[in-house]
Amino acid sequence: MRAKTLRSVFVPVLLLFLSSPSQAQKLKVFISVDMEGITGVVHGDQTGAGGHDYNMARKWMTADANAAILGALDAGATEIIVNDSHGDQRNLLLSELHPAATLIAGSPKPMGMMQGIDGTFDAVMFVGYHAKAGTVDGVLDHTISGAAVYSIRINGIEMPELGINALVAGQHNVPVVLITGDKAVCEQAKEILDDKIVTAQVKEGIGRYAAKNLSSERAQQLIRQQAKAAMEKRKEIKPYKLNPPYRFELAYVRSSQADNAMFVPGIKRLNARTIGFQTEDYITGYRLLRGAISLGRE
């Protein structure tokens, strides 16, 4: 009798426990936040510490990040890691960041804009991203370093930061589901990554230093709505991968910068200002690329 009573109580409770979605489903989101693609940002005075509009732009950056966090939460996210990915990576205002998120701040970090990603995540979001160096109507267009980099090619494809970073996520089988920024970066994301990626276009460039912007309120509504939609679509969006070996080509702005990179064994000179190297493992190549860019910062 006693065993039967116990069974009649515990079996349903056990089944309830096993079927409870809150117990079983974890949904982890990694958000990399840059600054040039933030709503309202159109000039270096807004993106560089010391610029007279910088502190205001940090608030805008935090607001765009919060909108993406809210959209992820709307879709059931249980853990959100935000990586500050701009400049010295000390821009987001922790005191204003949504409490559901954890913030990775500061630099240098071995994986830079992708510090913190691993295979336990379900989705990646790029917030405030910008187009690659040499893009017409790309607000503050550049690739990693305006001072050092003219262009970066990986396996022959000229890459914006979004492609270089999405390949890191792809190594962990995690798709980039959302990008926010200007019209040009949204177009480049659809060209290079799976075109099912969800975009939130918060501004349209008019040259490099001007843009037509949505109001802050409308931009945040759009980002939140698109972030939720992106999470709901995440299983349809393929992680970004290229086949090894990975052939990196880095064209510097000046030939003297390529001279500096010649200190590193394994790096070859392709022409006056271009260096190249090849790796079997993408993460190794990504780190060497960042090292070579640092050597180019004279």
Provide the minimum distance between the beta carbon of 36 and Zn ion in the complex, in angstroms, as a whole number.
5
Beta-strand pair 176-182/157-158: unpaired
Cβ closer to Zn ion: 34 or 84?
34
**Closest distance to Zn ion from the beta carbon of 46 (Å):** 11
Phi, psi dihedrals of residue 208, rounded to the nearest 5°: -90, -25
The residue among 62 and 279 lying less far from Zn ion, judged by its C-beta, is 62
Token couple for 45: 């005075």
- Given the complex with Zn ion, which of 213 and 274 has the nearer CB atom? 213
Q: Which of 43, 98, 130, 142 is catalytic?
A: 142
Is 172 among the residues known to form the active site? no
In the complex with Zn ion, the residue whose CB is nearer, 150 or 277, is 150
Least CB distance from residue 201 to Zn ion, whole Å? Answer: 18
Separation between Cα atoms, residue 156 and residue 147, nearest integer Å:
22
- Name the CA dihedral angle for 266, 270, 274, 277, rounded to a multiple of 10 degrees: -30
Picking from 93, 87, 116, 95, the residue whose alpha carbon sits closest to that of residue 104 is 116
**Which residue is at the shortest CB distance from Zn ion?**
86
C-alpha span between 70 and 231 (Å, rounded): 11
Q: CB-wise, 34 or 64, nearer to Zn ion?
A: 34
CB 199 within 8 A of CB 219: no
Rounded distance between C-alpha atoms, residue 286 and residue 112, angstroms: 10
Smallest gap from Cβ 238 to Zn ion, in A, equals 26
Binding site for Zn ion (CB under 5 A): 34-36, 86
Sheet holding 198-205, edge to edge: 101-104, 79-84, 28-33, 123-129, 176-182, 198-205, 211-213
In the complex, least distance from residue 271 CB atom to Zn ion, rounded to whole angstroms: 28
Supply the residues annotated as catalytic. Answer: 142
